[in-house]
Amino acid sequence: MHFVVMGCGRVGAALAQQLSSMGHSVAIIDKDEKAFRRLRDDFEGTTVTGLGFDRRVLAEAGTDRAAGFAAVSSGDNSNIISARSARQLYGVRTVVARIYDPRRAEVYERLGVATVPTVRWTTRQMMDRLLPGSSQLEFQDVSGSVTMVTSGFDASWVGTPITALEGMLTVRVGFVTRLGEGMLPQAGMRVQDGDLLHLLIETERLHAVESMLTHTKNIDEEDKL
């Protein structure tokens, strides 16, 4: 998969480096060419000098074919403008922005841009939001037998009834974060693009469930329910 990272500070460089080491195609953008010195010599991605919301720069970075876009520069305004450009102009499905002002987070979530406040920001959290199907641990009971994770999903799951998803994956959906707001599953509720699913899973099945969510939904299994 191809990913675009906007901002080559300490965090952006680490994120781009990690994605590249996982075998993904990566383009990293920064207005200061000297910032790319933070990248290790073994970085195999592409560097693009310019503003992260400039169409020419975004095009050069291959945003039109990106599976994910991460805006991690030092400014909220630059991050949100570039993130919205990636989503609205290029149709990038998974867009994540680093946010310094937590009061803006809900507004950006409503615009379809996932956010990670800087006070609890880690490279791992950004990876969890950026990579399709990846999950983030929220809770595990004292025995370790049941785990709650926050999970994304492959686009093929959009439109699936929550009850059908629970049956196919043998999980329980505790709640759904949609447009920045948490909500309990209701009768007839379906998965929407941009949702974050908060799943209760038997811990021993965690990797199997992650794999199923990452890949195209098995329609035959849904028809059996």
Residue 152 φ/ψ, nearest 5 degrees? -90, -165
For residues 145 and 201, what is the distance between their CA atoms, to the nearest angstrom?
9
CATH number, position 78? 3.40.50.720
Domain containing residue 33: 2-130
Same domain? 51 vs 78: yes
> Based on the number of CB atoms within 10 Å of its own CB, is 214 exposed (0-12), middle (13-18) or buried (19 or more)?
middle
- Residue after which a domain boundary falls, among 95, 130, 165: 130
Q: pLDDT at position 70, please?
A: 94
Question: Cβ of 6: how many Cβ atoms within 10 Å?
Answer: 32
Same domain? 147 vs 59: no
Tokens describing residue 145: 């037998």
Q: pLDDT at position 149, please?
A: 86
Same domain? 109 vs 143: no
Q: pLDDT at position 153, please?
A: 85
Q: pLDDT at position 191, please?
A: 94
Q: pLDDT at position 129, please?
A: 66
pTM: 0.61
Same domain? 75 vs 140: no
- Measuring CA to CA, which residue among 159, 214, 209, 217 is closest to residue 188? 159
Low-confidence spans in the chain with pLDDT less than 50: 119-120, 225
For residues 196 and 180, what is the distance between their CA atoms, to the nearest angstrom?
9
- Residue after which a domain boundary falls, among 101, 130, 159: 130
Same domain? 10 vs 72: yes
